């Protein structure tokens, strides 16, 4: 049965895991989101008094 021959499938398995382990993580960690909230200056709006009639 040719599907039980591990020589081509094992090489494909190792090569794909090498790509996932060494090529993909640096690309993912180098990604910057365009609207990341860390880069923005957060200003709190002035507080408004709640002078509503509650009765």
**pLDDT tens readout for residues 2-55:** 667 777 888 889 999 999 899 988 888 888 777 766 666 667 767 777 777 776
pTM, to two decimals? 0.46
Measured CA to CA, the distance from residue 48 to residue 25 in angstroms comes to: 47
How high is the pLDDT of residue 48?
74
Secondary structure of residue 31 in the 3-state scheme: coil
In the predicted model, is pLDDT for residue 1 greater than 60?
A: no
Q: What residues does each domain of the chain span? A: 1-46
How high is the pLDDT of residue 20?
87
Measured CA to CA, the distance from residue 19 to residue 36 in angstroms comes to: 28
């Amino acid at each position: 049965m040719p599907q039980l021959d591990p020589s081509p499938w094992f090489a494909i398995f190792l090569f794909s895991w090498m790509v996932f382990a060494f090529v993909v993580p640096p690309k993912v960690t180098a990604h910057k989101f365009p609207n990341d909230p860390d880069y923005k200056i957060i200003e709190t709006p002035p507080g408004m008094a709640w002078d509503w009639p509650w009765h």
